[in-house]
Structure 1
Amino acid sequence: MSGSLVYDLPIGTLIRFSDHIPEPPADRQGDLAVWRLFNGIGRLARKDPPPHCSPLAHPASITIRTADFGERGAVGFTYALGEPSTAAMHFEVLEFPPVGSVRILARDGDNAELLHLGEDEGAAVAWLARHPVPTAIFDPVTADEIAAVSVEGGWSR
């Protein structure tokens, strides 16, 4: 699927992303590190619309985080949708956030960024106690949200 379709998915969706370039051999660490920037699995962590009042044309963008905030190696990759460099990217939905799970979001103005997806409210509270974030809010995943994306997007997962 294209990145523009990923933009319509719920925050917390687990996604595989790939640029279709074969993985380099393990003994070529530099090449392998670059390859991993464009090939992996992560959660949709942020969706930014194009700016409305900018004299410059900026596309919408998505951020996919490959590890939880606060963990070693927590990296987020931002893809500007509609840019020639991301046209070759392929995205695959692996799973939607489970109903009953709780997204911990950091607010940045009108935009929110996923910090962690707790399996339930108790797990979310425990995670936030270990990783205090002053701007964090809880956002439960509802059956209606997942049903809507499944029906509107034609998803069978």
Structure 2
Amino acid sequence: MSAQLIFDRAPLGALIRYADGSPRPPERHRKKLAAWENRNSGGRLIAKRAQAVVGSTTLPASITLHKGDFGSGGVIVLRVHQTFSVNNDLTFTVVERPAIGSVLVLDRAGEDAELIHLAESRDAAQAWLKSHGYPHAVLREVTADDAAPGDDEGRAAA
């Protein structure tokens, strides 16, 4: 499916894979492999941003994936996010939707809210919030509508 379909139909918290369709280069070609991995990877959908107009420039809608955290001893030093315009040429697939009853911890209310944590229950989400301190956080439970796959899931859009 296209990035536009991910924007339109995939819920926050879904695991997304993306690919450009090219074959993986051999391990010995480190630079080629690094470039390939940049266009063939995945992450958790944490944000959807609508189209915006800034002055005379129009910014297309976009999706943001959380690709990973780096650190040690329970301390996260670096968070890796990647943002994609809905106009890009990659093929996206929803690998997993958040489970019904799990709770999305969003950084704020509204359409521009960003997922900061996915908890298995409301109690787990509240415990996580107490230890991480996001003052404007909003909890939203995943419903059957969020967890139900779309009729076009897994197919590449033309």
TM over 0.5: yes
Structure 1 pair 54–140 and aligned structure 2 pair: CA distance change class (3 A): farther
Normalising to structure 2: TM-score of the pair? 0.78
Equivalent position SS for 1:22 = coil
The corresponding residue for 2:49 is 48
Matched, 1:58 2:45: no
Structure 1 pair 129–32 and aligned structure 2 pair: CA distance change class (3 A): farther
**How far apart are residue 27 of structure 1 and its match?**
4.1
Rounded Cα–Cα distance in structure 1 between residues aligned with 2:109 and 2:35: 29
Structure 1 pair 108–36 and aligned structure 2 pair: CA distance change class (3 A): farther
The corresponding residue for 1:4 is 4
**How far apart are residue 126 of structure 1 and its match?**
2.8
Q: 1:80 aligns with which of 85, 89, 93?
A: 85
Unaligned runs of 5+ in 2: none
Normalising to structure 1: TM-score of the pair? 0.78
The 8 Å contact of residues 100 and 142 in structure 2, kept in 1 or not, is answered as: yes
Equivalent position SS for 2:84 = strand
User: Which stretch shows the higher mean deviation, 90-99 or 136-145?
Assistant: 136-145
Rounded Cα–Cα distance in structure 1 between residues aligned with 2:98 and 2:127: 19
Equivalent position SS for 1:66 = strand
Equivalent position SS for 1:75 = strand
Runs of 4+ in 1 over 6 A off after TM superposition: none
Rounded Cα–Cα distance in structure 1 between residues aligned with 2:42 and 2:11: 16
Unaligned runs of 5+ in 1: none
What value does the CA root-mean-square deviation take over the aligned residues? 2.8
User: Which stretch shows the higher mean deviation, 68-77 or 54-63?
Assistant: 68-77
**How far apart are residue 116 of structure 1 and its match?**
1.4
**How far apart are residue 6 of structure 1 and its match?**
0.2
The structure in which a higher percent of residues are strand is 2
What amino acid does structure 1 have at the position aligned with 2:130? A
The 8 Å contact of residues 94 and 153 in structure 2, kept in 1 or not, is answered as: no
